[in-house]
Amino acid sequence: MSAKHYCVMCVLFVCKCVLFVCKCVLFVCNCVLFVCKCILFVRKCVLFVCKCVLFVCKCVLFVCNCVLFVCKCVLFVCKCVLFVCNCVLFVCKCVLFVCKCVLFVCKCVLFVCKCVLFVCKCVLFVCKCVLFVCKCVLFVCKRALFVCKCALFVCKCVLFVCKCVLFVCNCVLFVCKCVMFVCKCVLFVWNCVLFVWNCVLFVCKCVLCYCHRVSTQLQLTVISYHINVNLNNTIF
């Protein structure tokens, strides 16, 4: 075996080794690509969870508004019932007072002047009672207005908290989108690297084919040389 043939065989062996290393690198790149795809899938899952959290926050906000509306309705009904009860109580008192007055007038026919004086005092007392009742009603209305304002402030606070939660969810969603964009960039870079390695692999294959052709030609040359030598020996 000549030195040239031995060098060609060495080059062929080195090319095969390079081809094996390229295949190994290609396998590692495929593994890295699979990991990147898994990370992208996890990011998509996180994005879906964030959307679910946003939907839950909107539902909580809607429930709070419904509770506020129900509270207002209950407050209005309570005020109406209280007003009706006060009216009925006042009418009963008036009827009772009229009955007593009639009974007293029937008994005190002879004391008309005193009865007139008493009636005047009673009218004055009724006016004072009405004035006191009006003041009480005004005080109750002010207290009810203050309670309503407090409830409205609490509802606004709850609404602000819900908006804050919504803002945090939007921030998390933006971060997830940024991470997804970075993953896509990394995937693009790995695709470029894979393309470069494929190009290198193609070049190695071309070199291997060339070496194989040269080796074949060299073998044919050696065989021809041996045939010529054998023919010359046979002739001589």
| Model confidence pLDDT, tens digit, residues 211-226 | 888 888 888 888 877 7
Number of H helices, E strands in the chain: 2, 0
**Cβ within 8 Å of residue 144, ≥6 positions away:** 75, 79
In this prediction, residue 146 carries a pLDDT of 93
Is 112 within a domain? no
Print burial letters for 147-165: b (CB count within 10 Å at least 16), e (below 16): eeeeeeeebeebeeebeeb
Q: pTM for the whole thing? A: 0.30
Is 218 within a domain? yes
Is 94 within a domain? no
| DSSP one-letter code for 236 | -
- Residue 105, pLDDT > 90, answer no
In this prediction, residue 142 carries a pLDDT of 92
Number of domains in the chain: 1
In this prediction, residue 3 carries a pLDDT of 65
Q: What is the CA radius of gyration of the chain?
A: 52
Is 176 within a domain? yes
The parent domain of residue 68 ranges over 3-84+123-235
**Cβ within 8 Å of residue 190, ≥6 positions away:** 29, 32, 33, 36
